[in-house]
Structure 1
Amino acid sequence: MLKNKLGIQSEIELARVEERLSKLKAKKLFESGMLDSLEAGSFESLRVIHKELFGEIYEFAGEIRGVNISKGGFRFAPITYLKEALFKIQSMPQGSFEEIVEKYVEMNVAHPFREGNGRSMRIWLNLVFKKELGKVVDWSKISREDYLLAMERSVVKDLELKILLKEALSEECESGEVFMRGIDASYAYEGYCVYKTEELED
């Protein structure tokens, strides 16, 4: 299991604490307006989001990973080329729906952090959509199975992912309900579904 700042030795306990603390941080990011102050589409904005979500739990929060990682037999960008890849991704255009999704797919392949990439990147993606299109993805409209399959296939062909995301776009960019409902769905993709974001308090 991952070494953590809290000294937790149980994977089950760590998962519960991580879910609660990071969902609470996500809620604060939205309600404080901090998200809107970040530069949409930059790696720095993704780094800040990651650090805010997981900084209380992991030393590596907001730090580019120093190890190679894989998932389900797929190897993410090797650390030898990771910084170069992130620079190129940041420079990718994001003026249209198609360009934004393509940028998101490339960032997913890069997977810059040791843990918590997906949850951070979905917040980051909505920041780009909000700035460029005046819309956000309502993640609650996309099932876990459909999302994971589309992401797995997006490395070869991203059409399925584009269809899913386009159908889930919402114009309710400032809605706290849409944001928190989306956080719960986003976390459920990764198996975190104990807490409801809207009910969390310090």
Structure 2
Amino acid sequence: KFEAPDGKQRKADVLNSEGVILLAKHYPNNRAAKFLDWFTYSDNTIDGQSRKKAYTLFESGLLNSLEPGSMKCLQQIHAYLFGGLYEFAGQIRTKNISKGGFTFANCLHFPTIIPTIERMPETTLDEIADKYVEMNVVHPFMEGNGRSTRIWLDLMLRRSLKLCVDWSRIDKNEYLTAMRESVVDSTHIKALLKGALTDKINDREMFMKGIDYSYYYEEE
């Protein structure tokens, strides 16, 4: 029964939360499992909590105190997004990792590679994109590289060009394809970035929308 605003009990065919969970568990469709995860844990997943941290990162003004293009800046972003969620938040990895058949830079070479990337210029879009691509190949953290590095990229664009990326204008599959290609040819990712630049660098909604898309890129 359902209690109406006037206090009277009326019969209704609405499921309560326990009923919804029961239905999803027995629903003959593999997508139901994803729905169940969202329904029961949406605010408690690592992504859910990290996304909320990303929103407050903008509100806090902390981004304005970071030094764009530096490794320390990227580590601070990662630490803020994943602090309390991953024990390695903000820490450069000491193990080698691969994804989709591609092995990222060997961590033994980080003492040479990372300072070299830090010294790369960042005065033009081409230079900033090259620096972004190189840091992506390094993939300095065990998890959370893409989400952190896209904010890192935006900070360089803001300082040098007074621009940022409107990530909602870049299709997920096209972005992922371009990033895979960028290891040997960065033409595609540069074209995507160039076509999505905006001067709304202090716009709260632009940043929030960008975070939503950035996290969407990482969903399986």
| Interval containing the TM-score (normalised by the shorter chain) | 0.7 to 0.9
Alignment-derived partner of residue 162 in structure 2: 134
Alignment-derived partner of residue 71 in structure 2: 43
1:150 to 178, 181, 189: 178
User: SS of the counterpart of 1:66?
Assistant: coil
How many Å apart are 1:105 and its aligned residue? 0.3
CA radius of gyration, larger in: 2
- After superposing on structure 2, the runs of 4+ consecutive aligned residues of structure 1 that deviate more than 2 Å are 12-16
What root-mean-square deviation, in Å, do the aligned CA atoms of Structure 1 and Structure 2 show? 1.5
Identity of aligned residues (%): 50
Matched, 1:189 2:220: no
User: Within 5 A, what are the aligned runs for 1:1-202?
Assistant: 17-191=45-219
Mapped to 1, the partners of 2:168 and 2:44 lie a distance apart of 21
More RCO (CA 8 Å, sep 6+): 1
Length-normalised TM-score, structure 1: 0.86
Mapped to 1, the partners of 2:110 and 2:187 lie a distance apart of 25
Counterpart amino acid of residue 108 in structure 2 = T
Length-normalised TM-score, structure 2: 0.80
Listed as ranges, the gaps of 5+ residues in structure 2 are 1-36
- Deviation per residue, 1:122-156 (Å, 9 max, x gap): 01100000000000001111011010000000011
Listed as ranges, the gaps of 5+ residues in structure 1 are 1-11, 193-202
User: SS of the counterpart of 2:174?
Assistant: helix
How many Å apart are 1:115 and its aligned residue? 0.2
Q: Does the 8 A contact of 2:165 with 2:196 survive in 1?
A: yes
Alignment-derived partner of residue 6 in structure 1: none
- Counting matched residue pairs gives 181
